[in-house]
């Protein structure tokens, strides 16, 4: 069951024979060992900066992997677990850059400077409590008119582990702070972990739920410059790129022939390598779009 599920998911997502072969080999070697890794990670506190936040990302992402490997796809769909996983193809050779977990002093400004240099639009999914602490950074993102600001919850909890009432609070508290955020109204679940109840609330409130085609896996690469087998399986990092962050991002975009790219403002390596990625994509003939584009709107729930 587990092999069949991951086999079909990777086949659909990549549609590339070479990438699929590497993915299947990686899956075969890792699937039987998924349980141990998540259990050895210290369960994180709900903190939203520094080492604790990064540890929380890793913990919950590996728990997400375990859930997907050990559950039937039909059961996951019935429970609305992972609407962030986009199977539909992106507009051909169109890329959207998206940045989670900001605003982050200094790093938000560095990203904005680089995007302005290349006249690129991006989407920033902001944590409400951080936006409240740094309203000037929210306005910096919005003032160019080029970028979108989305809701990324109030304090970045795992929606799979909190009560329905708390889920609603997380959405609404962040919305109150981001009242001047962009149209269309965008929401991205922390860790990509959705629920049927919050999906219904977001639809009622007029939000579009935004997932991703390409997971940069910066949350894993940023630790040691490489990813282990379990992190690689969760992010779709193929064997040749387990020590190559830029190579992974570019190869995965190539495999999807474009798409929405997930990155995080909180990881210094993301900022350091962003211009290299942008230049390489331009050289390879990719164009940068926006989540407000009709073609990308159709990929959202």
Reported as a single tens digit per residue, the pLDDT across 145-165 is 999 999 999 999 999 999 999
Whole-angstrom Cα Rg for the chain = 18
pLDDT value at 12 more than 60: no
Query: Is position 212 within any domain?
Result: yes
Query: Is position 144 within any domain?
Result: yes
Query: Is position 9 within any domain?
Result: no
| pTM: predicted TM-score of the whole model, two decimal places | 0.85
Yes or no: say if 192 and 211 are a contact pair by the CB < 8 Å rule.
Answer: yes
Quote the domain boundaries for residue 235: 82-301
pLDDT value at 298 more than 50: yes
Query: Is position 48 within any domain?
Result: no
pLDDT at 180: 72
| Cα gap 262→216, rounded to integer Å | 6
Q: What percent of the chain has pLDDT over 90?
A: 76
Query: Is position 24 within any domain?
Result: no
Number of separate domains in the chain:
1
In this structure, of 16-30, 110-124, 136-150, 254-268, the range with the lowest mean pLDDT score is 16-30
Query: Is position 206 within any domain?
Result: yes
How confident is the prediction for the chain on average, in pLDDT? 86
Q: Quick one: average pLDDT of 10-26?
A: 42
pLDDT at 48: 43
Query: Is position 7 within any domain?
Result: no
Q: What percent of the chain has pLDDT over 70?
A: 83
pLDDT at 151: 97
Confidence of residue 182 (pLDDT cuts 50, 70, 90): low
Query: Is position 21 within any domain?
Result: no
Note the pLDDT tens digit of each residue in 74-101.
999 999 999 998 989 999 999 999 999 9
CATH number at residue 259: 3.20.20.370
């Amino acid at each position: 069951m587990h092999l069949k599920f991951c086999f079909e998911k990777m086949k659909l997502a990549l549609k590339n024979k070479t990438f699929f072969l590497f993915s299947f080999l990686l899956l075969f070697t890792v699937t039987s060992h998924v349980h141990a890794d998540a259990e050895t990670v210290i369960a994180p506190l709900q903190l939203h900066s520094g080492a604790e936040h990064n540890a929380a990302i890793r913990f919950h992402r590996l728990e997400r992997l375990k859930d997907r490997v050990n559950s039937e796809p039909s059961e996951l769909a019935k429970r609305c677990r992972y609407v962030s996983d986009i199977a539909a193809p992106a507009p051909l050779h169109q890329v959207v850059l998206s940045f989670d977990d900001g605003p982050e002093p200094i790093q938000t400004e560095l990203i904005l400077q680089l995007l302005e240099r290349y006249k690129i639009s991006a989407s920033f999914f902001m944590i409400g409590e951080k936006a409240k602490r740094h309203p000037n950074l929210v306005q910096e993102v919005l003032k160019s008119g080029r970028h979108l600001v989305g809701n990324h919850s109030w304090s970045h909890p795992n929606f799979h582990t909190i009560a329905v009432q708390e889920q609603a609070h997380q959405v609404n508290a962040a919305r109150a702070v981001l009242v001047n955020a962009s149209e269309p109204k965008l929401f991205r679940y922390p860790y990509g972990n959705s629920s049927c109840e919050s999906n219904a609330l977001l639809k009622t409130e007029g939000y579009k739920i935004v997932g991703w085609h390409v997971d940069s896996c910066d949350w894993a690469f940023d630790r040691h410059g490489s990813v282990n087998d379990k992190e690689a399986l969760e992010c779709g990092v193929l064997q040749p790129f387990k020590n190559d962050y830029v190579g992974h991002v570019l190869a995965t975009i190539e495999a999807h022939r474009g798409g929405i790219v997930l990155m995080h403002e909180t990881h210094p390596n993301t900022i350091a390598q962003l211009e290299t990625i942008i230049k390489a994509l331009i050289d390879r003939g990719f164009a940068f779009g926006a989540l407000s584009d009709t073609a990308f709107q159709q990929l959202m729930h």
